Amino acid sequence: MANHSPISSSQILTILTYLLCVSGELMPWPTAIPSHIQSLDIASRLHNDVDSMKRASNDYGNLVHEAPSAILYPSSIADIIDLVKFSNNCSTPFGVSVRGHGHSVRGQAMARGGVVVDMSSLPTRNVRVSRHPTLGFHYADVGGEQLWVDVLRATASEHGLAPVSWTDYLYLTVGGTLSNGGISGQAFLHGPQISNVVEMDVVTGKGDLITCSHHMNSELFFAVLGGLGQFGIIVRARIILDKAPTRAKWVRMIYSDFSKFTRDEEHLISINGANYVEGSLLTDKSPPNNWRSSSFYSSYHQSKIATLLKNNQGLLYSIELVKYYDHLTAHTIDQEIEMMVENLSFVDGFIFMKDVPMMDFLARVGNLEAEKEAQAHPWLNLFVPKSRLLDFHSGVLINIIGRHNQTTGPILFYPFHRKKWDDRMSAVTPDEDIFYTLGLLHTCGAHERGYFEAQNNEIIKFCEEAGIEIKQYLPHYKSRRDWMKHFGGKWESFEERKMEFDPRMILSRGQNIFDSVTYSDI
Ligand code: FAD
């Protein structure tokens, strides 16, 4: 943790004055409140120095900036419980948002006027690996604040085991991705990360520390997974592990035809064999080598693809396929890959292959921390029902993204099986057996964000008008009506669960779901 100076007593008074004024609780000033907060152990861990405030008021998106009154650097779970309970005991409670690694793009981990809990200050915990006594599978108990990259290092290097479902980027926290879903090219096979958790410890919005699982306090368990931080703070998660493969055959194939591209994607996620399948669009602004894996293609291959791109109206499609192997399967892996790709319809000669250590594949996106400050990331992530793929292709991929041709950054497009998602969880998907994700991962200068926001809005409007029932992943809405529409049939239980686990609506107000505050874009 950086060196932050603790808040003095007078600053604590100021913060509380602000919180209580905002909440209308302070009448008259001063009241018994100051001595109350000072009696709490957490007082010395609340900060409002410039660096802390700046960090907590921004995120990877650099689109929304909301200042809290203070940042809590917890030294234990008990500190978090104390803070949540304290807020609960105010007649009008203040918001508490936990910040995992701040890689949201729209202020979801912010707490205007409230307190941001910076999870990174929790003392480093060891990843504990165990074997289930009756079912026999291995699992890891990890802190909600831990980065997936650290989970991988600990499980793979010390135990030869690894989680089975990943995100493309590993510098995200366990609590942060489990609050959303956690998707990547393994999700077609194992489900998203939320489908690979068997137990959690959660601090609810009432300040209760509860252990939950499929069978124990299951309502809380399912609420929290994909629950956008609304029901509780994940302080421990038990993640399913499997034997960590040692190497990966990493294949990319280029397509000029959308129907062949999606047909082959769906074929690959339906046969036995692939461990990872993702797809993407290639344009001159979204080239084959990008930050998702900056050195896959040699410069010779890049120019070969660039020529094909030119001859194909500036739009190509790419499937990325991976098969893991180890010393036991090393002698058959090439043959297996050959069989998997032999009937696929990629452009003749446009198949590229790498053979890499497993760790290099999983950690293919480096740490993007340094890039964060200067640029904005007006991302749009959607789930698209398979039945409307052709309409989506012509209306969105060709007529909006292709016509603008300004999307700078990866454009992901790949399918999932809905059966791998558990409908009891809060996460929402289209109501079809197969759906796709579109990830428009724009990077732009702060002054250009309006342009990309307009494009994103045009896409959403087109889908609405065409009756394409998309769902946003990492959703962002400003009105209750839109949230209700997003959750559809799950809205009622989402609301009921909120009443049960966070009745005073303290947690994750940066998501702007329940509180009346409108989080303005700046
Ligand atoms: P934060 O941004 O800090 O928090 C996100 C939300 O979760 C907030 O509402 C916060 O209050 C809440 N939260 C955080 N920790 C907890 C906790 N312990 N308990 C309860 N609530 C909590 N997502 C994918 O699925 N797949 C990808 O491949 C992928 N790649 C990405 C690559 C990059 C470069 C970036 C910036 C994001 C990517 N994401 C991806 C999105 C990412 O999963 C989400 O933005 C995630 O929320 C970020 O995690 P974080 O730890 O930074 O969470």
Distance 346 CA to ligand 1 centre (A): 34
Residue 5: per-residue pLDDT: 54
Residue 521: per-residue pLDDT: 35
Buried b (16+ CB within 10 A) or exposed e, 20-30: bebbebbeeee
Question: How many CA atoms lie within 13 Å of 506's alpha carbon, on the beta-carbon side?
Answer: 32
Residue 439 DSSP SS3: strand
The answer to whether the CB of 193 is under 6 A from ligand 1 is no
Atom of ligand 1 lying closest to residue 180 CA: 47
Q: What is the pLDDT along the chain (522 residues), one digit of tens a residue?
A: 444 555 655 555 455 544 544 443 333 222 222 345 566 789 899 988 999 999 999 999 999 999 998 999 999 999 999 999 999 988 888 999 999 999 999 999 999 989 999 999 999 989 999 999 898 999 999 999 999 999 999 999 899 999 999 999 999 999 999 999 999 999 999 999 999 999 999 999 999 999 999 999 999 999 999 999 999 999 999 999 999 989 999 999 999 999 999 999 999 999 999 999 999 999 988 888 887 777 899 999 999 999 999 999 999 999 999 999 999 999 999 999 999 999 999 999 999 999 999 999 998 998 876 555 679 999 999 999 999 999 999 999 999 998 887 777 899 999 999 999 999 999 999 999 999 999 999 999 988 999 999 999 999 999 999 999 999 999 999 999 999 999 999 999 999 999 999 999 999 999 999 964 443 332
Residue 81 DSSP SS3: helix
Catalytic residue among 4, 47, 101, 103: 103
Residue 1: per-residue pLDDT: 44
Contact 408, 441 (CB under 8 A): no
Distance 61 CA to ligand 1 centre (A): 11
What are phi and psi for residue 439, nearest 5 degrees? -120, 110
Catalytic site residue 278? Answer: yes
Residues 177, 178, 181, 184, CA torsion sign: positive
Instruction: List residues bridging with 252 in a β-sheet.
Output: 320, 352
Longest dimension (CA), the chain: 78
Residue 517: per-residue pLDDT: 43
Residue 252: per-residue pLDDT: 97
d(CA 486, CA 231): 18
Catalytic residue among 118, 278, 320, 469: 278
The answer to whether the CB of 234 is under 6 A from ligand 1 is yes
Q: Which domains does the chain have, with CATH numbers?
A: 9-121 (3.30.43.10), 128-243 (3.30.465.10), 247-362 (3.40.462.10), 368-476 (3.40.462.10)
Q: Considering only CA atoms, which residue is closest to atom 16 of ligand 1?
A: 175
Distance 304 CA to ligand 1 centre (A): 36
d(CA 25, CA 16): 10
The answer to whether the CB of 227 is under 6 A from ligand 1 is no
d(CA 353, CA 51): 45
Residues 78, 84, 90, 95, CA torsion sign: positive
Catalytic site residue 36? Answer: no
Rg value, the chain, Cα: 23
Distance 426 CA to ligand 1 centre (A): 15
Catalytic site residue 214? Answer: no
Distance 169 CA to ligand 1 centre (A): 10
Whether the predicted model's global pTM rises above the 0.95 cut: no
Residue 444: per-residue pLDDT: 92
The answer to whether the CB of 113 is under 6 A from ligand 1 is no
Test site for ligand 1: of 60, 104, 513, 519, most ligand atoms within 8 A of the Cβ? 104
Q: Considering only CA atoms, which residue is closest to atom 49 of ligand 1?
A: 176
Which distant-in-sequence residues (6+ apart) come within 8 Å of 6 by Cβ? 44, 45, 46, 47
Q: Considering only CA atoms, which residue is closest to atom 20 of ligand 1?
A: 233
Closest by CA to 271, choosing from 222, 342, 218, 213, is 342
CB 225: neighbour CB atoms within 10 A?
Answer: 27
Contact 95, 506 (CB under 8 A): yes
The answer to whether the CB of 511 is under 6 A from ligand 1 is yes
Q: What is the DSSP letter of 182?
A: -
Test site for ligand 1: of 77, 81, 98, most ligand atoms within 8 A of the Cβ? 98
Distance 522 CA to ligand 1 centre (A): 21
Q: Considering only CA atoms, which residue is closest to atom 23 of ligand 1?
A: 182
Test site for ligand 1: of 115, 116, 145, 169, most ligand atoms within 8 A of the Cβ? 169
The answer to whether the CB of 66 is under 6 A from ligand 1 is no
Residue 28: per-residue pLDDT: 29
Please state at what angle helix 480-487 crosses helix 491-501, rounded to 10 degrees: 110
Catalytic residue among 66, 145, 150, 168: 168
Residue at token pair 């809060």: 426
Distance 372 CA to ligand 1 centre (A): 15
The answer to whether the CB of 169 is under 6 A from ligand 1 is yes
Distance 126 CA to ligand 1 centre (A): 21
Test site for ligand 1: of 173, 294, 375, most ligand atoms within 8 A of the Cβ? 173
The answer to whether the CB of 115 is under 6 A from ligand 1 is no
Helix (H) or strand (E) segment spanning residue 440? strand 434-440
Residue at token pair 């931080």: 229
